[in-house]
Amino acid sequence: MRTELITVLDMDSREEALRAVELCATCQFFKIGSQLFTRCGPEIVREILDMGRKVFLDLKFHDIPNTVAKAAKGAADMGASLFTVHAIGGRRMIEAARVAVEGTETKILAVTILTSLSDEMLRLELGLPETTSEAVVRLAKQAVESGAHGLVSSPHEIVLVREAVGLKPLIVTPGIRPAWSTGKDDQVRITTPRQAAEAGANYIVVGRPIFKHENPAEAVRLIQEELV
Ligand code: C5P
């Protein structure tokens, strides 16, 4: 299995995003999240697809099954290759999303527990009795059983998640910092592209290390080189 790079377009404008896609000439796959989507809408997805690239739409749907199914169909109709839902939305929500994308090329990724949440927050704020790792494993299994094609996983949970769901589901991993990158930003538990690939990630998701580099095209090349 070859691990593929997805470059993050966390920008505020169409111009910045399209310039970034042009700069990252050797990258085929780009992530559009709430930041860019709330500024530019589906049009930016269309423009990036028209540039011959693939799109991961990271809007983390979490709503009643009917609404998520409609949004899933919207993502598929837009031509997104991947999009996210929150696993905590439950089985029926993911089953409905799966029915909605059946017959298309679009795949569903489930987000388990946000890495911004600690064990203590899970217990005190969400009322869950488990540790984050226990909750990640339980929700990952449930999401895949309900029809998710894959999971978003922190780098340090890739092995745990692989053990829980087996080899077939896709694992997509943010929190990547190449050894040459200058800082961790707000990422706490990080790994290099190579470590994430060796742990079994199908895709790594990288943003700031690429765009903080003086030559983003070179940063992309260096990351892709680690993945070969
Ligand atoms: O800039 P950086 O490489 O940290 O970008 C990582 C991307 O992955 C961001 O778009 C961020 O929202 C997303 N993400 C993350 N950590 C998670 C889940 C998603 O950083 N646990």
Average pLDDT over residues 42-56: 98
For the annotated catalytic residues, the residue numbers are: 60
What distances in angstroms separate CA 61 from CA 19, 20, 64, 70, 74, one per listed residue?
Answer: 28, 26, 10, 11, 12
* Mean of all residue pLDDT scores within the chain: 96
Of the candidate ranges 1-5, 11-15, 83-87, the one whose mean pLDDT is the lowest: 1-5
Per-residue pLDDT at 189 exceeds 80: no
Token pair in block for residue 144: 């895949």
Give pLDDT, residue 228.
74
Predicted structure pTM score: 0.96
Which numeric CATH code is attached to 4-226?
A: 3.20.20.70
pLDDT tens digit string along 119-174?
999 999 999 999 999 999 999 999 999 999 999 999 999 999 999 999 999 999 99
Pocket test residue of 156, 205, 210 for ligand 1, highest count of atoms within 8 A of CB: 205
pLDDT of residue 146: 98
Residue 174 CA, ligand 1 centroid: distance in Å: 5
Atom 12 in ligand 1: residue holding the nearest Cα:
33
- What's the pLDDT score for residue 131? 94
Domain range list for the chain: 4-226
Instruction: Write the pLDDT tens digit of every residue in 191-214.
Output: 999 999 999 999 999 999 999 999
Average pLDDT of span 13-41 = 98
Rounded distance from Cα 175 to ligand 1 centre (Å) = 6
Residue 170 phi, psi dihedral angles, 5° rounding = -70, 145
